[in-house]
């Protein structure tokens, strides 16, 4: 069984540093920033910027995500990653140092830590029950690598050189401003004698005032000369060190180097959602299909949930489904009722699903999309002489020119800068084109006329509490648009609701 990548089941696409255009509108830029914040050295963002195009590739990752729910496996991989961090630190230190023997010493330490990391990982995952093709293939590859001649030679030589250096004993003689180094000849170790003498004065646990020497510091000229003298006294041991460094200049296997980076994609995401789960919210691995039937139960905005993870404020989950000819959800209702959050959630779900990641919700079936297009209202830029309406039309024109039947469209309160009649006319023209595309779309609007456009549209409304219309439930349900939401929003916009008028009277 061949192993190449833990992220891709076949050839991996070229990495890009540019986030998708939909990220700011969907707040996915905030999500990915939070996921990767503690993993900067791995440069993980390009992985999250590259959605998968095939269902088999998505399932490849989903299987790995499922395997990683095993605590023992996750612990083994995190330990491996910690040791690999040390390997890179020691190798970087070795490159920066000036003194040859000092450089070689840290190179040897890096090789020993690397060998331990690989051996321990192989041992820790050998008996685990793995079901994913990716991890099963990696384990087999690791077992083959552990018994390969290059690794066995590396490990055996590293231990032999380390043991040889560890047997070196020497004396430093300081006299009249000069330093002499000679072989140890059985002299008394006075540090041991001093400790024995003062041991009787020890009274319980005391503060340790000894200070660890910085591993990042180089040698001063005296230390370097002493080391040179020691190397001259023990030429065989240092010759072995030199030969080891020459024989194993690039000892980290490329597949393990790649695995160490790619596995962090999974670890970072699972650690991220673990924080959200503590609020009692659920995540699931969705069924990703090409059929035109999608749904999600108890789902929510992942960016909002993460931002409120330490707050007492509850996250209100929602459900949705589209089946048969249904393609477009027209979401209406009062301001601040969760409509935009619902639209973001819909886009987030589909994008995260194309990454092979668990998505918010108890269960879900989502469409394999080729692109997520968003059009959210923006503040008018005074430097743009074309005006807001023209800007809206140009942005939507771009979307319709590039969208396909497999695209996801999220439109949020478009044409708010024009008259009601013009907004209705333009919206219906665009609605017809989206309907002709047969693409999935969520359209947040106050134009109730769109909710009954044709058989592909479904009306969903953000609700308020029955006994208090000013209090939002943040529940978005299937319900016929009744026009009250638009009237209420207009009243709120111009501060003409009953409560707003009473506030002005009493103020």
- In tens, the pLDDT along 403-446 reads 999 999 999 988 877 788 888 899 899 999 999 999 999 999 98
CB-based contact 464:337 (threshold 8 Å): yes
CB-based contact 183:140 (threshold 8 Å): no
Confidence of residue 102 (pLDDT cuts 50, 70, 90): very high
Q: Which CATH number fits domain 278-506: 3.40.50.300, 3.40.640.10, 3.50.50.60, 3.30.70.980?
A: 3.40.50.300
Report the pLDDT averaged over residues 456-473. Answer: 84
DSSP string, 33-88: HHHHGGGGGG--HHHHT-----HHHHHHHHHHHHHTT-HHHHHHHHHHHHHHHHHH
pLDDT of residue 382: 47
Strand pairing report for 283-284 and 328-332: unpaired
Residues 382-394 have pLDDT tens digits of 455 456 788 888 8
Burial (CB count <10 Å: 0-12, 13-18, 19+), residue 401: exposed
Report the pLDDT averaged over residues 233-244. Answer: 95
| Helix, strand, coil shares, percent, the chain, to 5 | 50, 15, 35
State both tokens at 417: 């800068």
pLDDT of residue 32: 97
- Of the chain, the percentage scoring pLDDT greater than 90 comes to 67
Q: Does 209 or 160 have the greater pLDDT score?
A: 160
For 396-439, where are the E strands, in sequence order? 408-412
Burial (CB count <10 Å: 0-12, 13-18, 19+), residue 266: buried
pLDDT > 80? residue 217: no
In SS3 terms, 228-258 reads as: HHHHHHCHHHHHHHHHHHHHCCCCCCHHHHH
pLDDT of residue 196: 84
Q: Does 4 or 489 have the greater pLDDT score?
A: 4
For 225-378, where are the E strands, in sequence order? 283-284, 287-289, 294-299, 318-322, 328-332, 359-360, 363-367, 372-376
Confidence of residue 493 (pLDDT cuts 50, 70, 90): low
pLDDT of residue 161: 97
pLDDT > 50? residue 12: yes
Cα–Cα dist 245/223, whole Å: 22
Confidence of residue 208 (pLDDT cuts 50, 70, 90): confident
For 251-317, where are the E strands, in sequence order? 283-284, 287-289, 294-299
pLDDT of residue 214: 60
For the chain, the domains span 1-184+217-271, 278-506
Q: What is the DSSP letter of 450?
A: G
């Amino acid at each position: 069984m061949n192993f190449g990548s833990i992220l891709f089941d076949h050839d991996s696409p070229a990495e890009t540093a540019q986030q998708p255009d939909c990220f700011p509108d969907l707040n996915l830029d905030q999500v990915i920033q939070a996921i990767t914040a503690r993993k900067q050295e791995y440069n993980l963002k390009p992985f999250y910027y590259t959605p998968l195009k095939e269902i088999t590739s998505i399932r490849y990752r989903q299987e790995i995500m499922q395997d990683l729910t095993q605590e023992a496996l996750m612990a083994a991989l995190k330990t491996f990653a910690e040791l690999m961090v040390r390997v890179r630190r020691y190798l970087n230190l070795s490159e920066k140092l000036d003194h040859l023997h000092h450089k070689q010493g840290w190179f040897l330490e890096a090789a020993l830590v690397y060998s331990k990391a690989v051996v321990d990982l192989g041992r820790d995952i050998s008996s685990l029950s793995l079901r994913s093709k990716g991890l099963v293939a990696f384990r087999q590859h690791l077992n083959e690598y552990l018994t390969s001649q290059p690794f066995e030679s590396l490990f055996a030589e590293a231990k032999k050189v380390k043991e040889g250096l560890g047997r070196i004993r020497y004396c430093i003689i300081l006299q009249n401003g000069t330093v002499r180094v000679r072989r140890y000849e059985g002299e008394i170790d006075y540090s041991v004698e001093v400790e024995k003498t003062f041991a009787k004065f020890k009274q319980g646990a005391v503060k340790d005032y000894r200070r660890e020497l910085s591993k990042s510091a180089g040698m001063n000229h005296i230390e370097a000369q002493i080391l040179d003298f020691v190397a001259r006294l023990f030429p065989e041991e240092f010759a072995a060190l030199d030969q080891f460094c020459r024989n194993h200049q690039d000892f980290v296997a490329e597949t393990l180097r790649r695995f160490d980076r790619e596995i962090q994609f999974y670890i970072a995401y699972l650690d991220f959602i673990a924080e959200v789960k503590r609020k009692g919210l659920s995540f699931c691995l969705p069924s990703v299909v090409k059929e035109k039937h999608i749904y999600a139960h108890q789902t929510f905005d992942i960016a909002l949930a993460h931002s409120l993870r330490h707050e007492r404020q509850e996250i209100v989950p929602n459900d949705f489904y589209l089946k048969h000819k249904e393609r477009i959800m027209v979401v209406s209702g009062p301001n601040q009722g969760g409509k935009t959050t619902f639209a973001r959630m819909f886009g987030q779900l589909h994008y995260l699903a194309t990454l092979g990641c668990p998505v918010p919700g108890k269960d879900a079936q989502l469409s394999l999309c080729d692109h997520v297009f968003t059009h959210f209202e923006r503040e008018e830029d005074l430097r743009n002489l074309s005006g807001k309406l023209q800007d809206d039309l140009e942005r939507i024109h771009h979307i319709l020119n590039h969208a396909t039947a497999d695209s996801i469209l999220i439109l949020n309160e478009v044409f708010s800068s024009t008259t009601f009649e013009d907004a209705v006319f333009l919206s219906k023209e665009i609605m017809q084109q989206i309907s002709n595309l047969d693409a999935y779309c969520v359209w947040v609007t106050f134009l109730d006329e769109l909710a009954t456009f044709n058989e592909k549209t479904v009306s969903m409304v953000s609700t308020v509490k029955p006994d208090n219309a000013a209090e939002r439930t943040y529940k978005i349900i299937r319900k016929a648009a009744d026009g009250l939401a638009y009237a209420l929003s207009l009243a709120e916009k111009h501060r003409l609701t009953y409560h707003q008028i009473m506030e002005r009277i009493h103020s």
